[in-house]
Structure 1
Amino acid sequence: MTSGIPTAAVAGFGTGLSLIVAIGAQNAFVLRQGARRHAVLAVVSICAASDAVLIALGVAGVGGVVTAWPAALTAVGLAGGGFLVCYGVLAARRVLRPAQGEGLTARGPAAGSVRAAVLTCLAMTWLNPHVYLDTVLLLGSLASSQGGLRWAFGLGAVLASVVWFTALGYGARLLSGLLARPGAWRALDGLVAVTMITMGGLLLARA
């Protein structure tokens, strides 16, 4: 069984990465924070730690609890959908009415407080029912198919989350030259607005 641990971990890493790489509300938020270089460590830590907790719950086999409470997922979907739509509208407003001197270097009051970034990140993560479906249910069920190697599989998935969010949050700094121009920053906010409103609308429609 020991020889199968690396294989299970690699499988978990690949599966976890495939589930989180696609652009979504959480990734768009991390990208924006990373590009602005604001509260990046806090945001990346929250995303990775939250995934670790949810993946551990899934590997431990508590997915049945989630499916047993469909009303809870509906409530989360309504709250999360409304939150994402509101955040998207604010991003769209920044596109249409950019703040004076808006750009990557405008990191003062326009960047907001660390507390606001943390609360927003927590809402993005825990008010999205897809997070529970992907981590607790899907990854949990795939991990169970690994038998005694399920925790190695789960560890690989956790590592994928850590690597991805770290790369996204800190890698966004590579865009600093491009996003120093207000027009490019408005384009990023436009992407955030479309992503948030679309995801929020889908959550509300499916709730």
Structure 2
Amino acid sequence: MTAASLASYLVNSAIAPTALAGFGTGLSLIVAIGAQNAFVLRQGARGQAVLAVVAICALSDAVLIALGVAGLGALVTAWPPALTAIGLAGGAFLLCYGALAARRALRPAGEQALSTEGTTAGSVRTAVLTCLAMTWLNPHVYLDTVLLLGSVAAERGSLRWVFGAGAMLASLVWFTALGYGARRLGAVLTRPGAWRILDGLVAATMLTLGGMLLARTF
């Protein structure tokens, strides 16, 4: 089968529409500004551990989407204490991270490190651990990817994995664009006070989401 005939087959069959539906559904769930996106944006703007952060986010989503398509959503629904524990840990983590971002935002501009140079092993390790916590301690990740996407994918029957693959691709495209696209802000972020504004937005996002998580958990 030639490339042209293969492309024609995919377009005329249900595979392409199903994959596009998965891509659109996945994209609609992750584009909204949240803790994970705010963190990826900040790392991308600083140019620190961007590849590692993007890879963690995309691979984590792929794993969770695969679990949802495989039917793990029913198990998560049957064990509410799991989401409660994740909500408590995630809410506390977001409040702590938001407080640190707020402290950075309140510092005089002269104390802010506006340079994106000098990424160290320690900063990479910190970024990786923080990204893992942002991703896996957020109960909304399980609700969106495992439960919601898993339920929608189940309706596609034998094409549910095609739908899931489309959603995984959406995650990869989004986080790659967000992480590496943010580097274009480098010139803007060399201005005095620019990092204070960004950290202020990050702090507001983290503190709000952390407070909401704890409020819903209790």
User: If the length of structure 2 is used for normalisation, what is the TM-score?
Assistant: 0.91
Distance 1:100 1:157 in 2: 43
Q: Is residue 92 of structure 2 the alignment partner of residue 78 of structure 1?
A: no
The answer to whether the aligner puts 1:65 opposite 2:75 as a matched pair is yes
1:126-165 alignment runs, 5 A limit = 126-165=136-175
**1:34 corresponds to which residue?**
44
Contact kept? 2:47, 2:116, Cα under 8 Å = no
2:42 paired with 1:49 = no
Q: Which runs of 5+ in 2 are unaligned?
A: 1-8
Is residue 109–residue 192 contact of structure 2 (8 Å, CA) maintained in 1? no
How large is the Cα RMSD of the aligned pairs? Answer: 1.8
Q: Give the Cα separation in 2 of the matches to 1:144 and 1:206.
A: 28
| Closer/same/farther in 2, CA of residues 191 and 76 from structure 1, 3 Å limit | same
Greater mean deviation of Cα atoms: 106-115 or 83-92: 106-115
Cα distance per residue 1:105-152 (max 9 Å; x no partner): 154479951111000000000000000000000000000011111000
Which residue does 2:17 correspond to in 1?
7
Size of the aligned set, in residue pairs, is 207
Give the residue type in structure 2 aligned to 1:44.
Answer: V
Does the aligned pair in 1 maintain the 2:49–2:119 contact within 8 Å? no
Q: Identity of counterpart residues, as a percentage?
A: 76
Q: Deviations over 1:75-94 (max 9, x none)?
A: 00000000000000000000
Instruction: Return the alpha-carbon distance in structure 2 between the equivalents of residues 101 and 190 of structure 1.
Output: 15
User: 1:197, 1:22 → 2: CA distance?
Assistant: 16
How far apart, in 1, do the equivalents of 2:194 and 2:15 lie? 45
> Following TM superposition, where does structure 1 have runs of at least 4 consecutive aligned residues deviating by more than 4 angstroms?
98-101, 109-112
The residue type equivalent to 1:178 in the other structure is: V
Paired residue for 1:171?
181
Measure, in 1, the Cα distance between the counterparts of 2:21 and 2:79. 29
- The alignment's TM-score, normalised by the length of structure 1, stands at 0.95
